[in-house]
Amino acid sequence: MARHLEIMCGTWRGTWRGLSRHTCHARPPLVVPAPDTDWVTGPNQLWDWDVTVLRSPDRWAFWYLYGLLDHFSRKDVAWHVAGHAQQ
């Protein structure tokens, strides 16, 4: 089982002498503190945004839904659907 996990981690590499074993190092999860939003006491004080990728009926084509949300009421303020990712 351990050898199977090492192969899954990509730790067994082929060399001209055969297989060489390297240890698999997993990175710890990145912990980002949540921003302080206790100061929001009503609507139109803080807006959040979201981009959602939607599948289209055509093969390998996608639509991008851009949404602007009010943080206090959790309602949509504005939205836009585009056929390509905008920068």
Contact 42, 53 (CB under 8 A): no
More confident residue, 27 or 1: 27
Is a pLDDT exceeding 60 seen at residue 21? no
Strand partners, 76: 69
| Alpha-helical segments (H) within the chain | 2-8
Is a pLDDT exceeding 50 seen at residue 4? no
Torsion sign over Cα 27, 28, 29, 32: negative
% of residues, the chain, pLDDT over 70:
68
pLDDT of residue 35: 84
Please tell me whether the overall predicted TM-score, pTM, comes out greater than 0.75 for this model. Answer: no
Whose tokens are 């009503």? That residue is 42
pLDDT of residue 64: 93
**Domain spans of the chain, in order of start:** 2-26+45-82
Query: How many other C-beta atoms lie within 10 A of the C-beta of residue 4?
Result: 8
